[in-house]
C-alpha cells in the first residue's frame, strides 16, 4: 500500500495575505467597485445631451388650466407661422431662421416680440433660447445653430400688444 500523506505531518505554507486581512479587504473591494460603477453611471447620465427632463414640468401640470386657456386663445387668434431655415451657415455654424407671422386673414403682423426654444429631438439637453429681430412685413429673424439632420422642435412665444400666442412646431431638417 502506498504511503499517503497524513494531515498535519507535512510542511504548511502560510497564506500570502492573512485571512483576517483578505476577507475584509475583499468586501471593501466589492463595495468600492459598486460605488465606482454608480459614479460612472451618474457622470454618463449628466453629460448626455440626449437625456433631459422637461423644465418646470410640475408647474406646467399644476397650471394646466392656464395652458388650456392659452390654446383656446391661440385658436381665436388663428395666427399663422411659416418657418424658413437658411441653407448656408455663417462662420459660427449658425443658420438664419426666419419666421413669417400672419393673421387669420393673411395680413402680415408687425410689432411683435418673438422668443423661442429650439432643440433637436435627439439632443433635448442642447436646447437653444432664441430672440427674433423684426425685418418688416411680418418677418422676424435670428441665427440658430442647426447642425444636425433630423427632427427639430420650435416652441414659440409671440407677444403683440395685449395678445399672446404660443405654438409648438416640429420640422424636419435634411441637408445633403
pLDDT of residue 175: 76
User: Exposed, middle or buried, 143 (CB in 10 Å: 0-12/13-18/19+)?
Assistant: middle
- The DSSP call for residue 13 is P
Is it the case that residue 101 has pLDDT exceeding 90? yes
pLDDT of residue 4: 54
Closest CA relative to residue 155, chosen from 129, 122, 125: 129
Q: Higher-confidence residue: 1 or 39?
A: 39
The grid coordinates of residue 26 equal 475583499
CATH of domain 57-173: 2.60.40.1940
Partners of residue 157 on adjacent β-strands: 115, 166
Please tell me the distance from the alpha carbon of residue 144 to that of residue 44, in angstroms, as a whole number: 27
Which of 23-27, 167-171, 172-176 is predicted with the least confidence, judged by mean pLDDT? 172-176
pLDDT tens-digit series, residues 16-53:
888 888 999 999 999 999 999 999 998 887 887 777 77
Is it the case that residue 120 has pLDDT exceeding 70? yes
Is it the case that residue 98 has pLDDT exceeding 70? yes
Is it the case that residue 151 has pLDDT exceeding 70? yes
Please tell me the distance from the alpha carbon of residue 143 to that of residue 119, in angstroms, as a whole number: 14
Give the mean pLDDT of 154-169. 96
Residues 6+ apart with CB under 8 A from 157: 114, 115, 116, 164, 165, 166
pLDDT of residue 51: 73
Amino acid at each position: 500500500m502506498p504511503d499517503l500523506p497524513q494531515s498535519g505531518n507535512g510542511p504548511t505554507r502560510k497564506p500570502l495575505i492573512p485571512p483576517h486581512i483578505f476577507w475584509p479587504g475583499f468586501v471593501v473591494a466589492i463595495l468600492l467597485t459598486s460605488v465606482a460603477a454608480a459614479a460612472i453611471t451618474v457622470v454618463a447620465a449628466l453629460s448626455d445631451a440626449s437625456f433631459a427632463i422637461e423644465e418646470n414640468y410640475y408647474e406646467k401640470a399644476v397650471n394646466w388650466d392656464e395652458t388650456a386657456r392659452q390654446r383656446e386663445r391661440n385658436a381665436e387668434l388663428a395666427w399663422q407661422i411659416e418657418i424658413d431655415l437658411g441653407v448656408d451657415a455663417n462662420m459660427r455654424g449658425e443658420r438664419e431662421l426666419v419666421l413669417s407671422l400672419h393673421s387669420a386673414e393673411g395680413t402680415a403682423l408687425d410689432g411683435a416680440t418673438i422668443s423661442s426654444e429650439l432643440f433637436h429631438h435627439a439632443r433635448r439637453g442642447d436646447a437653444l433660447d432664441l430672440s427674433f429681430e423684426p425685418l418688416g412685413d411680418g418677418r422676424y429673424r435670428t441665427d440658430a445653430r442647426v447642425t444636425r439632420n433630423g427632427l427639430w422642435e420650435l416652441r414659440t412665444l409671440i407677444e403683440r400688444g395685449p395678445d399672446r400666442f404660443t405654438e409648438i412646431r416640429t420640422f424636419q431638417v435634411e441637408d445633403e
